[in-house]
Amino acid sequence: MTTFKSLGLNTELLKAVEKLGFETPTEVQDKVIPILLEQNTDLVALAQTGTGKTAAFGFPMLQRIDAKQRTTQGLILAPTRELCLQITNEMGIYGQALKNINIVAIYGGANIQEQANKIRRGAQIVVATPGRLKDMIGRRLVDISAIQYCVLDEADEMLNMGFYEDIKDILTHTPKSKNSWLFSATMPPEVNTIAKKFMKKPIEITVGTKNSSAKNIDHQYFIVAARERYNALRAVVSMNTDLFGVVFCRTKIETQKVAEKLIQDGYKAAAIHGDLSQNQRDIVMQSFRKKRIQLLIATDVAARGIDVDDLTHVINYQLPDEIETYTHRSGRTGRAGKLGTSIIFVTKSDRRKIKLIENKLQTKLTELEMPSPEEVLTSKVIHWTDQVKNIPIKSDLHNHLPLAIKALEDISKETLIEMMLSKEFKNFDLHPKAIEFSRDDRSDRSSDRRSDRKINAPQDKDRFFINVGARDQYEWTTLKDFLRSFLKLGPDDVFQVEVMKNFSFFSTHKDHRDHVLKSFDNLIMDDRKVSVELTKKGKTFSPKKNFKKKKFK
Ligand code: AMP
């Protein structure tokens, strides 16, 4: 059997392994660590999140770094602030027995000078998000010209978020002699391009099957009318009393709405999205980790850094646009050898997406029937009675028992139980209508169908160009939210949002054309005039040219 020792880790790192309680290397560690320790090579590793990939590149990097030198020798690029902090934290733990190793995280949304000061004190390893790193390189606050190791973590996600240009730019500041180690859950063509363009004969490692989801995840879906989504979610949560999971929504507003409804219905839920401050996020995450919160309602971006291993369920309140994103979502459960369930609520009109997922994952997804209202109630009552049977008796109440018994002596056991049940379910609407699921096609007149109509009818939609993009810290979900709230449009009225580095595109129904164009007339953001233009139909739109024309100053 392989051990961390036999992989070639030094005593200091083995101490960390022991302290962490890692018994055997995971598959990716087993395959990657010996290569990175022994060879000066580039490497591309296809591995899902939760497979132990941080240690797979972290251990070799820590072992190879020269702690006596203060120069930056290792660079790790990650898509989000959360992931960046998570990697820094893990690396800190792995390297705690090593002397004088300094690992610094740099990411947007925090004080740049403080980060620069930390770098100035000497950081052998820098963990960074691409936007902030590029900014700091430009201001000469960080020097990566002598790095020997460069990790691109979650490369597919970084490219999804529009960081291609930033990454390309960052790499031009690194020496040719470095070794690049790229980790990605999937291998879309963009990642392939990076590997081809910027890496030298990389060794390829695949953990599990390429592009397939982890085997220990049970993928299930329910067909529901869009307006019944929430009731369906509530039914699933009611039926799975030990559920501890993340519910994925597409927008911040949706996460908040769902969380509020769940809380109202008596569940321990909280929303996590980009509008929360770092401090608020930390508080939510801490409560979740400690299981004071049972359900975390998240957008994809906010969920990137969720490092909770024992999620029983991942719930897709809505399906993401990209199937890759579904892989990321579901990969958050079924970790560390445990079984996990990924649940999808899908409307009839979106059913074809299930096929696409099945093809991509090469796994059959199981269609489940929604439980009847009767079944939901029965399950809740059984759970409640189980809980009651296990309530520990508080001995110091013993003396007060006769008083309570006397006061309640006229009430029969049945009535008493009925009263307790009523108290327990006071927030839960027991009326069958409230938990009934319409499986009738005609009831599916909701926003989902509207948005589909738009997407399927290009003549009805307008496509706009806007001169804000990834460099303004937008990605498609946040830009969509911004546009929706700025334009005061409904949840599905802004769609097909595509974010590039310096500009973006979005679509609306053509009824909104004048409103959209007028709304941006005088909008100044960060000293720049925001301009929105209709793209020209039938012609290839040349954003570069237009952007130049529109550039402010
Ligand atoms: P990662 O894929 O790097 O995000 O790791 C997922 C989780 O697995 C982290 O919480 C790690 O601490 C944990 N982990 C990494 N390697 C091992 C191992 N060999 N045995 C047990 N847990 C591990």
DSSP result, 271-332: EE-TTS-HHHHHHHHHHHHTTS-SEEEE-HHHHTT---TT--EEEESS--SSHHHHHHHHTT
| pLDDT tier at 438, thresholds 50, 70, 90 | very low
| pLDDT tier at 549, thresholds 50, 70, 90 | very low
344 vs 156, more confident: 344
> Whose alpha carbon is nearest atom 5 of ligand 1?
52
pLDDT at 296: 94
Mean pLDDT of 171-198: 90
Nearest atom, ligand 1, residue 51 CA = 2
The residues that bridge with 206 in the sheet, in sequence order, are 46
Distance 141 CA to ligand 1 centre (A): 32
> Whose alpha carbon is nearest atom 14 of ligand 1?
52
| pLDDT tier at 63, thresholds 50, 70, 90 | very high
CB 214 within 8 A of CB 334: yes
User: Can you tell me which residue has the tokens 């869009």?
Assistant: 226
CB 144 within 8 A of CB 151: no
Highest mean pLDDT: which range of 117-126, 300-309, 392-401 = 117-126
263 Cβ contact partners less than 8 Å away, ≥ 6 residues apart: 269
% of the chain at pLDDT higher than 70: 87
How far apart CA 285 and CA 512 sit, in angstroms, is: 39
| Mean pLDDT for the chain overall | 83
Q: Which domains does the chain carry?
A: 5-206 (3.40.50.300), 217-370 (3.40.50.300), 373-389+400-436 (no CATH), 456-549 (3.30.70.330)
The residues that bridge with 461 in the sheet, in sequence order, are 509
> Whose alpha carbon is nearest atom 20 of ligand 1?
22
Question: Does the structure show a pLDDT above 90 at 117?
Answer: yes
> Whose alpha carbon is nearest atom 8 of ligand 1?
52
pLDDT at 458: 56
Highest mean pLDDT: which range of 48-57, 174-183, 212-221 = 174-183
Question: Does the structure show a pLDDT above 70 at 447?
Answer: no
Least confident of 363-377, 440-454, 491-505: 440-454
Distance 37 CA to ligand 1 centre (A): 19
CB 526 within 8 A of CB 473: no
The pocket around ligand 1, CB under 6 angstroms, is made up of: 22, 25-26, 29, 49-55, 307, 309, 336
Question: Does the structure show a pLDDT above 70 at 86?
Answer: yes
Question: Does the structure show a pLDDT above 50 at 451?
Answer: no
SS (H, E, C) 512-544: HHHHHHHHCCCCEECCEECCEEECCCCCCCCHH
pLDDT at 213: 45
Q: Which amino acid is present at 46?
A: L
Distance 56 CA to ligand 1 centre (A): 9
pLDDT in tens, 313-364: 999 999 988 777 888 888 888 766 667 899 999 998 888 889 888 888 877 8
498 Cβ contact partners less than 8 Å away, ≥ 6 residues apart: 476, 504, 505, 506
> Whose alpha carbon is nearest atom 15 of ligand 1?
52
> Whose alpha carbon is nearest atom 6 of ligand 1?
50
215 vs 386, more confident: 386
CB 31 within 8 A of CB 205: yes
How far apart CA 35 and CA 493 sit, in angstroms, is: 50
Question: Does the structure show a pLDDT above 50 at 408?
Answer: yes
Task: State the burial class of residue 58 (Cβ atoms within 10 Å of its Cβ: 0-12, 13-18, 19+).
Answer: buried
Distances in Å between the alpha carbon of 194 and those of 181, 198, 271, 498? 11, 6, 35, 20
How far apart CA 9 and CA 6 sit, in angstroms, is: 7
Which of 309, 332, 333, 335 best tests ligand 1's pocket when mutated (most atoms within 8 Å of CB)?
309
46 Cβ contact partners less than 8 Å away, ≥ 6 residues apart: 184, 185, 186, 187, 204, 205, 206, 207, 210, 211
Which of 20, 184, 333 best tests ligand 1's pocket when mutated (most atoms within 8 Å of CB)?
20
Nearest atom, ligand 1, residue 25 CA = 19
125 vs 303, more confident: 125
Question: Does the structure show a pLDDT above 50 at 212?
Answer: no
> Whose alpha carbon is nearest atom 9 of ligand 1?
52
Question: Does the structure show a pLDDT above 90 at 113?
Answer: yes
